[in-house]
Amino acid sequence: MFTIEYFVGLILIGIFAGFASGLLGVGGGFLITPLQFFLLKYIGVAPDLAILISFGTSLAIIIPTSLSGAYRHTKSMDNILKPGIRLGIFGVIGGFVGGFVASALPSRTLEIIFGLLLLFIAFNNIVNINKEREKARIPFNWTSIGLIGLLVGFSSGLLGVGGGIFLIAILTALLGFSMIEAIGTSSIFISLTAIGGFLSYMITGWGVSTFPYSIGYVNIINLVLIACFSVPMASFGAKMAHRVPQKKLKIIFSIVILYMALKMLGVLP
């Protein structure tokens, strides 16, 4: 089942997703999840099992990957730690619940939900591509922190992503964060939120998953091999994020998300 092509695929996922995680503050789950899913289907794993393994393993990988990027961002910005931790506290709860809900839904339903959410975020970024910082539409207080943390955390657990792609869009569009501030805050949030979803996928897949070398829906081979490359690449990506103009970051962010959205919806082969 595990071929040389499979291992090479995992290494490439780690390099690509790790760099994107640090550069864009997204945890890399929006790449790790679908790319793992396509790779698992390629070696013959049933789609229903492949999607859940992709979600659970992705969340496990996101924890060390996002921590690597978060550490680099906090060295350049000292105002992102507090909002990131506050949002992350609620995100852990939402992620835990979302992981349990995901195990009860058909794989195609999850793919469509994931694709539509990515499509919305890509469209929002394209519309606001020239805005460096938008005016805050809602106050950043405990009420908004709780609601945003729970909702983004729930989507994180449900879809096997860190939630950064959703959080960055919310922070920049509604809360007046600059792109680089949102990326840094998101990287801290993700490292906490992924814990809740990761634990739920281990529990719900316990005794159910028949894929080799797995604990629940978390595959150890995928976790170790991808993380070995994603963690150092996330640190490098975060360093590069502070050198790239914010407009270019938005363009890169939008293109990658749009491609993955169309791929998950089945528009692209």
How does pLDDT run along the chain (269 residues), one tens digit per residue? Answer: 678 999 999 999 999 888 887 787 666 777 788 889 989 998 989 888 898 899 889 889 988 888 888 888 888 887 888 999 999 999 989 888 888 887 777 767 877 877 787 787 777 777 766 666 667 778 889 999 999 999 888 887 887 666 777 788 788 878 888 878 888 898 899 888 888 888 888 998 888 767 889 999 999 999 999 999 988 998 888 888 778 777 777 787 778 778 777 877 888 76
CB of 130 within 8 A of CB of 247? Answer: yes
Whole-number pLDDT of residue 134: 64
Name the token pair of 43.
Answer: 């070696």
CB of 201 within 8 A of CB of 216? Answer: yes
Classify residue 57: in a domain, yes or no: yes
Domain region containing 58: 4-264
CB of 180 within 8 A of CB of 77? Answer: yes
Whole-number pLDDT of residue 162: 67
Whole-number pLDDT of residue 85: 93
Q: Domain count of the chain?
A: 1
DSSP annotation string for the chain: ---HHHHHHHHHHHHHHHHHHHHHSSTTHHHHHHHHHHHHHHTT--HHHHHHHHHHHHHHHHHHHHHHHHHHHHHH-SSSHHHHHHHHHHHHHHHHHHHHHHTTS-HHHHHHHHHHHHHHHHHHHHHTTT-SSPPPSS--SHHHHHHHHHHHHHHHHHHTS-SHHHHHHHHHHTS---HHHHHHHHHHHHHHHHHHHHHHHHHHTTTT--STTEETTEEHHHHHHHHHHHHHHHHHHHHHHTTS-HHHHHHHHHHHHHHHHHHHTTS--
Classify residue 156: in a domain, yes or no: yes
Whole-number pLDDT of residue 244: 79
Name the token pair of 119.
Answer: 């499509």
Classify residue 269: in a domain, yes or no: no
Whole-number pLDDT of residue 25: 67
Classify residue 255: in a domain, yes or no: yes
Give Rg (Cα) of the chain.
17
Name the token pair of 143.
Answer: 């009420």
Classify residue 248: in a domain, yes or no: yes
Whole-number pLDDT of residue 131: 64
